Amino acid sequence: MSASAATPEPDGSAPPHDPAPESSESGEGSHGHPGTGDETAPPSAAAAPRTALAAPDDPEPQPVRSTPTKGPRKAKAKAEVECPSSDATGDEVEAFVQQWKITGDEAEIAHFLDYHRSKGSRFKDWLAAWRTWQRNGQRFGRGGTAAPARPPPKPMTEPDLFSAMDRLRNLKPGECVR
């Protein structure tokens, strides 16, 4: 070996500069430009792996804690629970409803459970899901404890229909119906 040959560092890492020429497999030169692939990289761009230099007696770096060390620890979260399957007996469904304190119209509870069975829903708090179901029923006019739906519009009588048609015929171009 010659005196100019690179010798490994005491910790086994490669030396910071390797003067040996390197070739590129992709057909590009070492500077990212198309070339013959046999160009050498400048000394500062050597392909030696970059490692942090540390003294041999330095301890391993410690991982950073992602949770704060101050304050009380929270209790473990509740496990998510499925609603009883459609094969469940009436007693099992009744026990589930009583356990979660779900009260209201039986038909609405059945609709609630059927919906969540079909979706495969799992909740940590079924009572909160039931309260949300009830609020949405009020907002969107569903059954159960929902607000009463609007009455349907009155059907048009024949004179009303003819009156509306006359108004449309008498409109001038660009005029709106009022």
Q: pLDDT value at position 128?
A: 92
- In whole angstroms, what separates CA 148 from the centre of its chain? 36
pLDDT tier for residue 24 given thresholds of 50, 70 and 90: very low
Comparing 28-32, 137-141, 162-166, the range with the smallest average pLDDT is 28-32
- Non-local CB neighbours of 22 within 8 Å, separated by 6+ positions: 30, 40, 41, 47
- Round to whole Å and give the CA distance between 59 and 47: 28
- Round to whole Å and give the CA distance between 106 and 155: 35
- Encoded tokens for 46: 């050597």
Q: pLDDT value at position 90?
A: 87
Q: State the residue range of the domain holding 124.
A: 81-140
In a domain, 1, yes or no: no
In a domain, 75, yes or no: no
Give the global pTM: 0.39
First to last CA, the chain: 101
Q: pLDDT tens digit string along 50-80?
A: 555 555 565 676 666 666 666 666 666 778 8
In a domain, 122, yes or no: yes
Overall number of domains in the chain: 1
Q: 177 with 171: CB under 8 angstroms?
A: yes
In a domain, 135, yes or no: yes
* pLDDT tops 80 at residue 132: yes
In a domain, 27, yes or no: no
- Round to whole Å and give the CA distance between 22 and 153: 84
In a domain, 45, yes or no: no
- Round to whole Å and give the CA distance between 113 and 109: 6
Q: Report the percent of the chain where pLDDT is more than 70.
A: 51
The per-residue pLDDT of the chain, averaged, comes to: 72
In a domain, 88, yes or no: yes
In a domain, 114, yes or no: yes
Q: Is the dihedral of CA 165, 169, 174, 178 positive or negative?
A: negative
